[in-house]
Amino acid sequence: MADTTPLIPLPRSAARLLIAAGAVATIASTFMSWTWTPDFPGDLTVYGYPAGLQVIALVAGLLTLLFSLTLWNVRGLRRLNPTGATTPYLFIALSGFAVCWYTALAIAVDLGGLVNLDPGGYVAVVASALPVLGALALPRPGNGARHYFTKPEQPAPARPLTGWTPYAIIIAGIALGLLAFTYGIGISPDESETFIGFSLLVLFAAWALVHAGQLDRFSALCAQHKGFATTAAFVAAAIFPFTQSDDHNANLGVNILIFGTVALGLNIVVGLTGLLDLGYVAFLGVGAYAAALVSGSEYSRFAGTQFPFWAAALVGMAASLVFGVLIGAPTLRLRGDYLAIVTIGFGEIFRIAVNNMDGTSGPDITNGPDGIPAIPDLKILGFDFGDQHAVAGATLGRFANYFFLMLLITALVVLVFTRAANSRIGRAWIAIREDETAAVAMGINGFRVKLVAFALGASLAGLAGTVSAHVTYNVVPTPYQFAGSTPPNSAFLLAAVVLGGMGTVSGPLIGAALLYLLPEKLTFLQQYELLAFGLALVILMRFRPEGLIANRRRQLEFHETGQLDVPDSPELPDSTVGVTKAGA
């Protein structure tokens, strides 16, 4: 029998009082001065006006207070924690504790000692510790610390929502995600301390929502209203450029979409078909170079030739498709590590080949290391993507224009991915991934099915490459390698798929956003980012091997029967889940 004795022996009334009082005191501390000098990022010297990390601590305090009210049986708020577990209270309390204590340590390190803390800083440190003590005074989830990381049993399904309620909840959830994303992307790279504090808040708050069962319920609600949820997500993405005054943030957004779209193409190969492709970024390069050659650059081998965008996009896709077939046809009879080695070789061959096609070491096609610069901006139906445009009272710059174009392409790729995954050949891909020998014995042509996946994934990467060539103005060989200091490269693309969740639609997009934003905002990690991401993947594989956004089948594979109640999801047919559960 599990021992639920609290780690701190206090009455329940005292525990909930500690949580609520600590949350209120944390909120109050954010209206005080935390340091005497404005040299620390965010200027935390002003009384009555939270800024920088104080705003993040304020949000953490409000969330802690909101969760603490469920312990007081406040009417209507018990739905915040439908599982009734005690772990959500601990994780939401840790969000404020982590932000406040991190800020105090950062002030001491950056400014030279704790003497630089003002009274508000000390109040925040003490106040944020009280909810943690209160949460530890609640009954434990079980024996050992590992139970704090184990997802509790899910509550009984909530009663069906009627009318506009489910749509309102979906809109509110997506709007909250947009708010968090715009705030995070708007933090300057010079304020890495603020971004770290923001990341701590998001991490612990998301952890609390997972243990409270809220994310599962929201996922199930989105699955029930898939069309509306998908449309709302793309509308929220379209609103993003209007929330930014700096076009650089729109540049980050368009690169995230390019990175995420390529990761979705790789998800077909890795997530659905189970083929380990470690040279996939080469297909992005093939599409970019093919489009650059016919897009009107004066440095192109075919200078003077300028195809319209739709034709250049088809050229990039066709070139990547051809290379996908040429590489896949002789190699896809290999499996596992042998296929991975061959794909690494293809990626390196592509990079070395375009590096040598300079007219000296090889034919004059790609200008070698100099690449193809001066690629002109797109013009579609008289709309110049290089000019600023006033829309709805907002001025949209060059990168915002390309963001909208890439958003349409991402929507197209998502449509192709979902339709292909739910089609007959998509079922064949999944069968090949699960057991190729059994699939072939059931009459599936394994080689043909894998070649189609390889070719489709390559063509989608080539489509993204055509936009990438115009966004960056030039195409050079450097980025198209297995691993490097900046994404996209094959290692980061594979990490985005694994981190986000193999076989899902939203997983690679979220994984790409995280892997692109973190090096951009945490500049001090750029020399160690491969080490940092390696450690992150190890931790992820330990606690959530199915990825941040889980495919239902993979959840059932990674968790023992009876330990996981998986919500409905469009990623896997219900009939197949029933068979999988029966065989688990």
pLDDT in tens, 307-343: 888 899 999 999 999 998 888 888 888 777 788 888 8
Is it the case that residue 561 has pLDDT exceeding 90? no
pLDDT tens readout for residues 236-247: 999 998 888 778
Percent of the chain past pLDDT 70, that is, above it, reads 88
Q: Using CB atoms within 10 A of its CB, is residue 90 exposed (0-12), middle (13-18) or buried (19+)?
A: buried
Instruction: Give CB contacts under 8 A, 24+ apart, made by 67-71.
Output: 67/19, 67/92, 67/208, 68/16, 68/19, 68/20, 68/23, 68/131, 68/134, 69/20, 71/12, 71/15, 71/16, 71/19, 71/20
pLDDT at 254 over 80: yes
Mean pLDDT over residues 283-305, rounded?
86
Give residue 580's pLDDT.
35
- Number of helices (H), then strands (E), in the chain: 21, 4
- Which range is most confident: 179-183, 489-493, 533-537? 179-183
| Range in 53-62, 90-99, 352-361 the model is least confident about | 352-361
pLDDT range class, residue 570, cuts 50, 70, 90 = very low
Are 195 and 521 in contact, with CB atoms under 8 Å apart? yes
**pLDDT for the residue 152:** 62
Q: SS3 string of 151-217?
A: CCCCCCCCCCCCCCHHHHHHHHHHHHHHHHHHHHHCCCCCCHHHHHHHHHHHHHHHHHHHHHCHHHH
Position with higher pLDDT, 474 vs 483? 474
Give yes or no for residue 403 having a pLDDT over 70.
Answer: yes
Residue 574 has pLDDT above 50, yes or no: no
CB 354 within 8 A of CB 439: no
Asked whether residue 448 carries a pLDDT value surpassing 80, the answer given is yes
Identify which of 115-119, 125-129, 325-329, 514-518 has the greatest average pLDDT: 125-129
Q: Give the residue-averaged pLDDT of 463-473.
A: 90
Task: Name the band, by pLDDT with cuts 50, 70 and 90, for residue 445.
Answer: confident
- What is the pLDDT, as a whole number, of residue 258? 92
| Residue 10 pLDDT level (bands cut at 50, 70, 90) | confident
User: What's the mean per-residue pLDDT of the chain?
Assistant: 83
Across 301-312, average pLDDT: 84
Band of pLDDT at residue 149, cut at 50, 70 and 90: low
Mean pLDDT of 246-275: 89
Domain ranges of the chain: 12-151+165-224, 247-481, 552-584
Span 96-101, mean pLDDT? 95
- Residue 531 banded pLDDT, cuts 50, 70, 90: confident
Give the model's confidence band at 2: pLDDT under 50 very low, under 70 low, under 90 confident, else very high: low
